[in-house]
């Protein structure tokens, strides 16, 4: 893989190619392109081209929670796609997307970046303006990450998921850091949140574009300390369909706050093995495990507990005549 190319070089090459005349050096480009691929010939033409959006396929690590180049999107575009489509209809597509020829389907292309613009053009029924380049996987990943970083489009949690998707596709941690323009320490933080926050829960909350690292770290720590369960939080979110993703995250953080207060007012002790007593403002609970050496004791206590409580209550009354 071409790891020797730096980030500036990749983006400079793409920008320069966009400004080049369409017929400039096309013969030379044709000789260096893979043979037998219509898309590769298109890649040798330089300049910005108009491409039928039905010829564009998804590629690479997923960087967004709510955007995919699949047939699902054709049934009803996401609200943000509709807004972008309205903008393109009014002012045109100002920024081209980046594609590369598909090795699997002749005449088709894989999207490196610009998924929202492609879907918006598909919604409008117009071709998408695109640069087509023959990039290998590593250079494609770098371009994808750099475009996201330059346009500041990804939320913090989308960066968490993007980093994980990069690693799961076999790229190294160094390549992930380069694609996201982050340090190893920052990557470790992203990995920690991904590890502790259940994926289903993260998807239920959504991108939360207004939330940065601190809020997601609070959520991750709550799961690490077993303050929350995935099932309980998903039940809470089941009734919040009308909320946006930032509001959903706030609902979950509020639940963590409530449980934190409960933890501070509840005391636990274990006078004998297998017996746990929880004492709080709202009540007193005694739990006896029916397992191992405690089984016989638990059975005996079950048979005698009523009498023990009555005896204890009578003792209490004798020691506290005023009740």
CA atoms of 147 and 141, how far apart (whole Å): 10
User: Residue 240 sits in a domain of what CATH number?
Assistant: 1.10.10
110 and 7 housed in the same domain: yes
User: Residue 40 sits in a domain of what CATH number?
Assistant: 3.90.1530.10
Residue 313 domain boundaries? 269-317
CA atoms of 5 and 1, how far apart (whole Å): 10
Q: Does some domain include residue 260?
A: no
Cβ contacts of 51 within 8 Å, gap of 6 or more: 99, 109, 127, 128, 129, 130, 132
The full length of the chain comes to 323
160 and 148 housed in the same domain: no
Cβ atoms < 10 Å from Cβ of 227: 16
DSSP 3-state of 287: strand
pTM summary value: 0.50
236 and 205 housed in the same domain: yes
Q: Per residue of the chain (323 residues), what is the pLDDT tens digit?
A: 433 344 444 444 444 444 444 443 333 333 344 444 555 555 556 678 888 999 888 876 654 555 554 433 334 446 667 888 888 898 888 888 888 888 888 888 988 888 888 988 998 999 999 888 888 887 887 777 766 655 556 789 988 988 888 888 777 888 888 777 778 899 999 999 999 999 889 989 988 989 989 999 999 999 998 888 898 899 888 888 788 889 999 999 988 887 655 555 566 777 777 788 877 666 788 888 887 767 888 888 888 888 888 888 888 888 777 65
Are the C-beta atoms of residues 248 and 206 closer than 8 Å to each other?
yes
Q: Which of 130, 153, 176 is the last residue of a domain?
A: 153
CA atoms of 214 and 6, how far apart (whole Å): 31
Strands (E) in 71-113, as ranges, are 97-101, 109-113
138 and 33 housed in the same domain: yes
CA atoms of 205 and 295, how far apart (whole Å): 43
**Structure tokens that stand for 187 in this block:** 């990557």
160 and 141 housed in the same domain: no
Q: Which of 132, 153, 174 is the last residue of a domain?
A: 153
Residue 172 is classified by DSSP as: -
């Amino acid at each position: 893989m071409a790891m020797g190319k730096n980030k500036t070089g990749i983006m400079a090459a793409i920008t320069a190619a966009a400004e080049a005349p369409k017929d400039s050096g096309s013969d030379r480009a044709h000789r260096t392109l893979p043979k037998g691929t219509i898309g590769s010939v298109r890649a040798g033409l330089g300049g910005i081209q108009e491409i039928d959006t039905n010829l564009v396929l998804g590629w690479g690590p997923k960087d967004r929670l709510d955007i995919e180049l699949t047939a699902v999107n054709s049934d009803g575009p996401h609200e943000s796609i509709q807004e972008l489509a309205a903008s393109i209809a009014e002012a045109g597509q100002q920024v081209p997307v980046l594609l590369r020829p598909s090795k699997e389907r002749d005449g088709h292309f894989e999207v490196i970046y610009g998924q929202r613009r492609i879907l918006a053009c598909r919604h409008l029924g117009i071709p998408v303006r695109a640069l087509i380049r023959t990039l290998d996987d590593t250079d494609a990943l770098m371009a994808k990450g750099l475009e996201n970083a330059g346009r500041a489009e990804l939320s913090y949690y989308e960066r968490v998921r993007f980093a994980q998707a990069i690693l799961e596709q076999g790229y190294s941690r160094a390549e992930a850091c380069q694609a996201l323009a982050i340090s190893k320490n920052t990557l470790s933080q992203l990995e920690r949140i991904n590890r502790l926050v259940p994926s289903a829960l993260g998807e239920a909350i959504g991108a939360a574009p207004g939330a940065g690292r601190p809020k997601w770290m609070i959520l991750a720590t709550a799961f690490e300390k077993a303050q929350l369960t995935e099932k309980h939080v998903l039940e809470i979110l089941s009734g919040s369909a009308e909320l946006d993703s930032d509001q959903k995250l706030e609902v979950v953080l509020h639940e963590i706050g409530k449980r934190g207060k409960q933890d501070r007012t509840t005391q636990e002790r274990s006078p004998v093995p297998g017996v746990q007593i929880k004492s709080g403002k709202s009540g007193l609970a005694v739990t006896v495990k029916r397992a191992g050496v405690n089984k016989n004791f638990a059975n005996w206590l079950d048979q005698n507990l009523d009498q023990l409580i009555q005896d204890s209550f009578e003792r209490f009354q004798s020691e506290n005549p005023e009740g």
